[in-house]
Each structure stands twice: as structure tokens, then as C-alpha cells.
Amino acid sequence: MLHRRILIVEDEQAIAEMVKLLLVRDGFQYVFSAATAAEAFSLIEANGADIILLDVMLPDGSGFELCDRLRRYGEPHIIFMTARVSDLDVLTGFAVGGDDYITKPFNPLEVVARIKARLRRMEEGWSEAGGKLRSVAPSSSLKQQEQTDVKGNKGIYTYSRFTLDEAAGELIVEGVPVACPAQEFLLLLHLCKHPGIVFTKSQLYEAVWGMNGMGDDNTVMVHIRRIREKIEHDPGKPVFLLTIRGLGYKLIKE
């Protein structure tokens, strides 16, 4: 975990230095900071990044625009941290590819805790390389949870319209591979492993993002919408990933 590359894109020097200080104090070896979008992009080109803490209001542009640009080059985990708190801003952050959204003022210790939880999940079962999700050796507990599809293949979940291949890190929809960012993949994988089970937003957040469900409900809702756009013929009338009013979500076979 401590070798992961973390980039802080924040023009308020006091905030950037505080978060960086806490990360370095906890043993992270590669923590970079940038005050502008241009500087951030240069650092990413030179060093890469596994997690990016991204402010929205930067001196030379919008963090939303930078996030959209970065998504064309790979799939780093992007956590927005900003004073823009409207529902539209939050939804825009997720729409352009953000994985989480933290509003200012915030506790820097919480930011560090979220980073650790995200990296811990990467280390336990997944790694990000070259913008493509790939699997690593699963832990014994994950092995016990493995299910088989109707053909008896472990880690392959087959539905009439789509197939999720855990080992290959691939989502196939109607025979065509579909790009699926890490958090969407892990959320769909969790639901595939427990078909027919209703999960609350908090349970899904804890299963995928960690932090004992302390995340914003919007995080789960936006990722559910993105998944439906990929696997459903009509996302507005889902037949696989259903909303159970007042309870949560479940994935079913027809």
C-alpha cells in the first residue's frame, strides 16, 4: 500500500500540505502535490498516479475538466475535495469519472482514512495498471466466497445480456467488451456474487469503498446508474439491477 502514488491537486497550500504531511507521516513514499491543472497533468505524465485528490476550482481550469481528460489516459482513483456542495456539482463530479466526493471543510484525517480504505481494497484483490483493471492472487477468504456460473466456471457470472469475468477483469455485453472502471466493476462483482440479495446503499459502499459505509449515498447511486447504462437494454426500465424501494438494490437473473 505504501508504495502507491498519490497526487494532491489543490491550490490552497495549507490544505495540500496538511494532507501530504499526514500521508508521509503514515509512511506513504510517493506523495506529490500540484496547485494547477497544468502542473498536475505534467506530474501525472512523469510519475503516473494511483489516487488523485482533486480540487474542482483550480486557477487555470476546472477539476471536472481535468478529471474528464485524465480518464482518457487511464483509470486512477479520483477523489474530489471541494467547497462546491450543490447536488449538481456532486453529480457532475461522478458523471465525469470521479470515484468519491468530499466537501470542504473536511477533516484531513478522514481524507487519509478514505485513501487507506481504497488502497487496502486494491491490495487485497485488485491492482490498476495501464488503465486496465487486472486481478491478483485472491485471499483465502475470497476463494471461499467464489461462485460458479451456469457452466461451472469459477469467477464468471453469466446473464442473458452480459457476462462478468472476475479473473480477466472484463465486462462483456452482448458479446462486446465494455470499458468498466474499477469501482463500477467491483460493485457489479459484489452484486453478482450475491444474486437476489437486497443491499442498502451503506452496505454496498462498505463492500466496495470501505470506511464502514461512511460515504455519500450519491456515490452508490451514480455508480448504479452507470452500471445500468452498460448492462441494461433500457436503463430507465432495468430488468437485472433493480431498485427495491425503501430498501436498496439487488441483481437478479430473469
Q: What is the pLDDT of residues 58-87, one digit of tens each?
A: 999 888 888 888 876 667 889 998 888 788
pTM (global) more than 0.85? no
Per residue in 183-214, pLDDT (tens digit) is 888 899 989 988 888 888 888 888 887 765 55
- Set of cell numbers at residue 16: 495540500
Q: What is the pLDDT of residue 155?
A: 78
Q: Which residue has the higher pLDDT, 234 or 110?
A: 234
Highest CATH level, class, for 139-251: mainly alpha
* pLDDT, mean of residues 23-50: 88
Q: Where exactly are the structural domains of the chain?
A: 5-126, 139-251
Q: Which fold would CATH assign to domain 5-126?
A: Rossmann fold (3.40.50)
Q: What is the pLDDT of residue 164?
A: 92
Q: Cβ distance 169 to 213 under 8 Å?
A: no
Q: List C-alpha distances in Å: 12 to 105, 106, 110.
A: 12, 13, 18
Does residue 213 come out as left (phi exceeding 0), alpha (psi in the -120 to 50 range) or beta?
Answer: left
Which residues are bridge partners to 81 per DSSP?
A: 102
Is 80 exceeded by the pLDDT of residue 55? yes
DSSP the chain: -TT-EEEEE-S-HHHHHHHHHHHHHTT-SEEEEESSHHHHHHHHHHH--SEEEE-SEETTEEHHHHHHHHTTT---EEEEEES--SHHHHHHHHHTT-SEEEESS--HHHHHHHHHHHHHHHHHHEEEETTEEEE-PPPHHHHHH--B-TT--BTEEE-SSEEEETTTTEEEETTEEE---HHHHHHHHHHHHSTT--B-HHHHHHHHT-GGG-S-HHHHHHHHHHHHHHH-SSTTS-SSEEEETTTEEEE---
* pLDDT, mean of residues 127-144: 34
